[in-house]
Amino acid sequence: MPRQSEIYQTEAEGYDHLVQREDYQGNLLHALDAIVPLAGKAVIDLGTGTGRFASLLCGLAETIWGFDVSIAMLRVARSRLQALTGSRWGLAVGDNRCLPIRAESADVVLAGWSYGHATVWYEDRWREEIDPAIREQLRLLRPGGMAIICETLGTGSLEPVEPTPTLAAYYRFLESEWGFTRGVVPTDYRFTSLEEAVETIGFFFGDELAAKVKANRWVIVPEWTGVWWRRK
| Alpha carbon distance, N-terminus to C-terminus of the chain | 36
Q: What is the pLDDT of residue 85?
A: 87
The predicted structure's pLDDT at residue 8:
85
Q: pLDDT value at position 5?
A: 76
Share of the chain above pLDDT 70, in %: 99
Q: List, in sequence order, the alpha helices (H) in 22-140.
A: 27-35, 52-57, 71-82, 118-121, 126-139
SS3 3: helix
Return the axis-axis angle of helices 3-10 and 194-205, rounded to nearest 10°. Answer: 110
**What integer pLDDT is reported at residue 125 of this predicted model?**
95
pLDDT value at position 2?
A: 64
- Per the rule left: phi > 0, alpha: psi between -120 and 50, beta: everything else, 10 is alpha
pLDDT beneath 70, residues of the chain: 1-3
Question: What is residue 6's predicted lDDT score, i.e. its pLDDT?
Answer: 83
9-22 residue pLDDT tens: 889 999 999 999 99
Task: Give the domains, in start order, of the chain with CATH numbers.
Answer: 3-191+222-231 (3.40.50.150)
- pTM exceeds 0.85, yes or no: yes
Is 112 buried (19+), middle (13-18) or exposed (0-12) by CB count in 10 A? buried
